[in-house]
Amino acid sequence: MMMTTNRFLTICSAVLTLAFAVTVIMIFIPEVKTTTFEQIDVQRINIREP
């Protein structure tokens, strides 16, 4: 009984640690997405400067 509880806790902590590490690493990886358009039809564009 005690061995299965220890094993469960070890596996659970390993999975949670791995999930936390992946989450922290994903925060620091920059997302590079460039949107390109060939043609845009608009009637009005308002540009405000800060």
> Residue 25's pLDDT is what?
92
What's the rounded Cα separation, in Å, for the pair 47 and 15?
Answer: 49
**pLDDT, tens digit (0-9, with 9 covering 90-100), for 1-50:** 566 888 999 999 999 999 999 999 988 888 778 888 888 898 998 888 87
> Residue 11's pLDDT is what?
94
The pTM assigned to this predicted structure is 0.54
Record the tokens describing residue 17, joined without a space.
């640690």
CA atoms within 13 A of residue 10's CA, in its CB half-sphere: 6
The residue written with tokens 């999975």 in the block is: 15
> Residue 1's pLDDT is what?
57
Write out the DSSP string of 1-50: -HHHHHHHHHHHHHHHHHHHHHHHHHHHSPP------S----S-------
